Homo-oligomer: A and B are copies of this chain.
Amino acid sequence: MSIRIGIIGYGNLGRGVEIAVGAAPDMELAAVFTRRDPASLTIATEGVPVVAAAEAEAWKDRIDVMIVCGGSATDLPVQTPQYAQWFNVVDSFDTHARIPEHFANVDAAAKASGKIGVISCGWDPGMFSLARAYANAILPDGKDYTFWGKGVSQGHSDAIRRVPGVKDARQYTIPVESALEAVRAGEDPELTTRQKHTRECFVVLEEDADAAAVEREIKEMPNYFADYDTTVHFISEEELQRDHAELPHGGIVFRTGATGRAKEHKHLIEYKLTLDSNPEFTTSVLAACARAAYRMNAEGQCGCRTMLDIPPAYLSEKSGEELRAHLL
Contacts and interface: CB of A to CB of B under 8 A. Distances in A.
Interface of A: 16, 19-20, 23-24, 44, 96, 99-100, 103, 120, 125, 127, 129-134, 136-141, 257, 259-261, 264-277, 280-281, 284-285, 288, 291, 306-313, 315-318, 320-321, 323-325, 327-328
A260 to B, nearest CB: 6
A98 to B, nearest CB: 11
Given A267-B275, A309-B313, A327 B138 contact: no
A44 B260 CA distance: 12
A224 to B, nearest CB: 23
A140 B100 contact: no
Contacts of A131: 271
A272 B270 contact: yes
A308 B320 contact: yes
B324 A99 contact: yes
Nearest to A310: B311
Contact of A328 (B129, B261, B274, B315): B129
Given A138-B285, A312-B137, A328 B120 contact: yes
6 contacts: A127-B138, A137-B317, A259-B281, A260-B280, A270-B270, A309-B311
A280 B308 contact: no
Given A99-B328, A132-B327, A327-B129, A281 B311 contact: no
A5 to B, nearest CB: 15
Given A23-B259, A271-B271, A309-B313, 17 more contacts: A16-B259, A19-B259, A20-B259, A23-B141, A99-B324, A127-B138, A127-B269, A130-B312, A133-B327, A136-B316, A138-B281, A257-B284, A267-B276, A267-B281, A268-B273, A269-B273, A271-B272
Given A312-B134, A315-B134, A277 B306 contact: no
Given A137-B315, A316-B133, A324-B99, A277 B261 contact: no
Contact of A284 (B138, B274, B277): B138
B140 A24 contact: yes
Contacts of A309: 311-313, 320
Question: Of residues A23, A137, A311, which shows the largest number of chain B Cβ atoms within 10 Å of its Cβ?
Answer: A137
A127 B257 CA distance: 15
A257 to B, nearest CB: 8
Nearest to A138: B284
Question: Of residues A19, A266, A310, A313, which shows the largest number of chain B Cβ atoms within 10 Å of its Cβ?
Answer: A313
A103 B328 CA distance: 12
A23 B263 CA distance: 10
Contacts of A312: 130, 133-134, 137, 307-310, 312
Contacts of A23: 140-141, 259
Contacts of A103: 324
Contacts of A277: 259-260, 265, 267
Nearest to A18: B261
